[in-house]
Amino acid sequence: MKNNLLIRAAHGEKVERTPVWMMRQAGRYLPEYRAIRKDIPFLELCKTVDLAVEVSLQPYRLLDVDAVIMFSDILIPVEAMGQEVQLTEKKGPELPSPIRTREQIDQLIVPDPTEKTGFVMEIIRTLRRELDGAVPLIGFAGAPWTLAAYMIEGGGSKSYGYVKQMMFKEPQNFHALLDKIADAIILYLNAQIEAGAQIIQLFDSWAGELSRKDYAEFALPYQQKIFAALKRKDTPTIMYINNSDHFLEQMATCGADVLSLDWRTDLQEARRRVGDQFTLQGNLDPCILLSTPEIIRAKTRAILAAGGGHQHILNLGHGILPMTPVENARAFIETAKGV
């Protein structure tokens, strides 16, 4: 591989410089993405191999990031499990028949990922051919608690009232749903690795809504189950949770090689709390990319200093925002690369 900085850093090896990429780096802030997206529904874009490959590669070509992440959505396997999913970038995800009963849970399937989501594997295989070893390819999936939240709420939520209602009122049903999701994600991620994904990131984006006790009961065991079951050989793994500071030590037991942190957690403090056995990823506030190139460079250098130049992958603390100017994203990447 011509540029294997990200893989080496994820494994804790010494690197010449800190690698850098951005969550949601393929997306609406890029005019080239919007030009493709205007003529095709979002879910169709996720399933159209040549177009998904093209938008996956755009940030690599335009910004020279140190990795490509396949273009997809965490709800793709939910649809494969048998629940209707509607994805629009303006309204966000909508699931018209939210899961509220044990009967609905029992009707969900654990799908064959090659049969039901074969387009994802073809996207990965095509990207590997297109990249030809230039940079690593990242595959990903959503973790059970976050996916269950979407499936039960019927979309995004501010209070997570319905998912927590089932969690507290009907914990047996909720665990049955989480376990089924975990089984599906294990197959899905193993298929991605077999297709050629070189790094795997698991997103439990909304697990930060949980207390330490509830995280330990309803999210962590399923993260651990997934990482333990991956046939990953030398494929490093990353765990991302938004707002994880209050249970960071518990998160460190999930089984991932890399802990990806949001902007609320100081990297040096995180290192003291979890020790030296992990690489840390992050964690510039995405809103800083809405400021000026000068501010971005200064803030980025501060994150790099906090990361210490070892066992650190530079990233944002959450996905890049759609209104981010491309030149500001470029300032972030170039500063990381010493340009």
Pick from 174, 177, 180, 229: nearest CA to 202: 229
Amino acid identity of residue 267, one-letter, is L
* Integer Cα distance of 293 and 328 in angstroms: 6
Return the closest-CA partner of residue 75 out of 90, 57, 59, 88. 88
φ and ψ of 155, to 5 deg: 155, -160
Structure tokens at 328: 């500001």
Q: Which of 17, 28, 100, 264 is catalytic?
A: 28
Nearest to 217 by CA among 195, 180, 261, 247: 247
37 in catalytic set:
yes
**Per DSSP, what are the bridge partners of residue 138?**
69, 199
Max CA pair span of the chain: 57
Query: 293-307 and 267-274 are packed helices; what angle lies between their axes, rounded to 10 degrees?
Result: 20
24 is annotated as an active-site residue: yes
Say which of 24, 183, 188, 222 is annotated catalytic.
24
Q: Is 232 an active-site residue?
A: no
Question: How many Å apart are CA 6 and CA 60, to the nearest integer?
Answer: 14
- What crossing angle do the helices spanning 49-63 and 326-336 adopt, rounded to 10°? 60
Q: What six digits make up the tokens of 114?
A: 């090659």
Residue 100 CA to its chain's centroid (Å): 26
Q: Token match 């190139």: residue? A: 293
Catalytic residue among 29, 33, 60, 150: 150
Separate counts of helices (H) and strands (E) for the chain:
17, 9
First to last CA, the chain: 22
| 150 among known catalytic residues | yes
Q: How far apart are CA 134 and CA 3, in angstroms?
A: 6
Choosing from 64, 73, 245, 266, the catalytic residue is 73
Task: Give Cβ neighbours of residue 103 (< 8 Å, ≥ 6 apart).
Answer: none
Q: Is residue 183 annotated as part of the catalytic site, yes or no?
A: no
Q: Which residues are catalytic?
A: 24, 28, 37, 73, 150
